[in-house]
């Protein structure tokens, strides 16, 4: 089953397929990653992560699939597959279909022939290609999405939303979620309130210091919670993206280019990255996504209180997702 962008939000709102194969590394990786982790948490599943970079790793995969733990506990295998191993893992899965269990696979883009692999005809396996949309395509999607929600968005506000989101569909979706709460039957959007909340250098410095483990909690200003949250969300988004590309064995120079990190920026980000494990970063990203849902009113929790709880008790996300990293 191939997931199209048209049914993306529906498919990733609940666990509909036994195996999800996510191909690509463009905008959308973070949103897919967060949605999948949210579904895993909701299902009460345990996560086991594996790197598939060599033929030897395939033997580890078989061991994991045949382990007693897999049958004793609800476990989701989370695989990061290198480009060099895509063909091998497709062949392996074709030959071991009786062993396949609940699984998430992230890989670089598939070739045309790989997309046509018979494996993806199986209704239990869903293939989704990360959206490599142009700004024109994002604009078209945005207009259609607003219309489907019966929202009249003036051109100046629409342009503002597109520019502030960086033409990222996952971020534009957060605008729609909030506006649908304000206008459940549809209506005219007369303002967009994120401009006033754009972080300054002070807020980015605070977020970086907090992520380094420094005690800067007393600098969290109640009147500027949004700016502090957006600055922290930006850093976590960048760091998890870096971790994703790193796990795909992408060279540091290519990652810097993709993330638009100049030398000093790369140095600063690496100082923060080295303070965290892959597990803690992904758990923190899930926590940030949860707080963002509180911010736009999709979860019945106090946004300010939930954010300050995270900041003052950082260990709160240690228990969110049981996970083994290999």
The angle at the Cα of 119, spanning 71 to 80, to the nearest 5 degrees, equals: 65
In 82-173 the beta strands, taken as DSSP E runs, fall at 103-107, 125-129, 151-152
pTM of the predicted protein model: 0.60
Distance, CA of 174 to CA of 296 (rounded, Å): 7
Structure tokens at 221: 């200003």
DSSP state of 49: E
Instruction: List all residues 6 or more positions away from 54 whose beta carbon is below 8 Å from its beta carbon.
Output: 85
**Phi, psi angles (nearest 5°) of residue 74:** -75, 110
For the chain, the C-alpha Rg in angstroms (whole number) is 20
Tally of CB atoms within 10 A around 163: 10
**Phi, psi angles (nearest 5°) of residue 20:** -110, 120
> Tens digit of pLDDT per residue, the chain (326 long)?
888 877 787 788 788 899 999 998 766 777 788 788 778 877 777 888 888 888 888 887 877 776 545 455 678 888 989 888 999 999 998 888 887 888 999 998 899 899 999 999 888 999 998 876 777 878 888 998 899 889 999 998 898 888 777 677 767 877 887 788 888 889 999 887 654 566 778 888 899 999 998 888 877 878 888 889 988 988 998 898 898 888 888 889 888 888 878 888 899 999 999 999 888 888 888 888 888 878 877 678 888 999 998 988 754 333 333 334 33
DSSP state of 296: T
């Amino acid at each position: 089953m191939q997931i199209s962008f048209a049914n993306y939000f529906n498919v990733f709102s609940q666990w509909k397929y036994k195996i999800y194969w996510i191909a690509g590394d463009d905008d959308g990786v973070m949103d897919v990653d967060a949605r999948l982790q949210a579904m895993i948490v909701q299902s009460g599943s345990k996560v086991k992560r594996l790197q598939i970079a060599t033929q030897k790793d395939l033997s580890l995969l078989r061991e994991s699939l045949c382990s007693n733990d897999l049958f004793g506990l609800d476990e989701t295998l989370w695989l990061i597959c290198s480009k060099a191993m895509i063909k091998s893992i497709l062949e392996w899965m074709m030959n071991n279909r009786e062993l396949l269990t609940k699984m998430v696979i992230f890989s670089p883009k598939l070739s045309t022939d790989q997309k046509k692999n018979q494996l993806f005809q199986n209704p239990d396996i869903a293939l989704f290609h990360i959206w490599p949309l142009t700004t024109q395509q994002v604009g078209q999607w945005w207009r259609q999405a607003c219309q489907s929600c019966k929202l009249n968005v003036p051109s100046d506000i629409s342009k503002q939303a597109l520019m502030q989101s960086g033409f990222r569909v996952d971020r534009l979706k957060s605008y729609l979620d909030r506006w649908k709460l304000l206008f459940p039957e549809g209506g005219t959007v007369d303002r967009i309130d994120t401009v006033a909340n754009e972080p300054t250098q002070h807020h980015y410095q605070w977020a970086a210091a907090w992520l380094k483990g420094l005690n800067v909690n007393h600098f969290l200003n109640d009147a500027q919670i949004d700016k502090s949250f957006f600055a922290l969300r930006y850093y976590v988004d960048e760091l998890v993206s870096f971790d994703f590309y790193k796990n795909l064995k992408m060279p540091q120079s290519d990652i810097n280019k993709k993330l638009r990190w100049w030398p000093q920026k790369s140095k600063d980000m690496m100082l923060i990255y080295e303070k965290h494990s892959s597990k803690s970063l992904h758990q923190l990203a899930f926590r940030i996504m949860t707080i963002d849902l509180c911010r736009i009113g999709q979860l019945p929790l106090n946004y300010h209180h939930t954010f300050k709880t995270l900041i003052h008790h950082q260990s709160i996300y240690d228990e969110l997702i049981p996970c083994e990293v290999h």
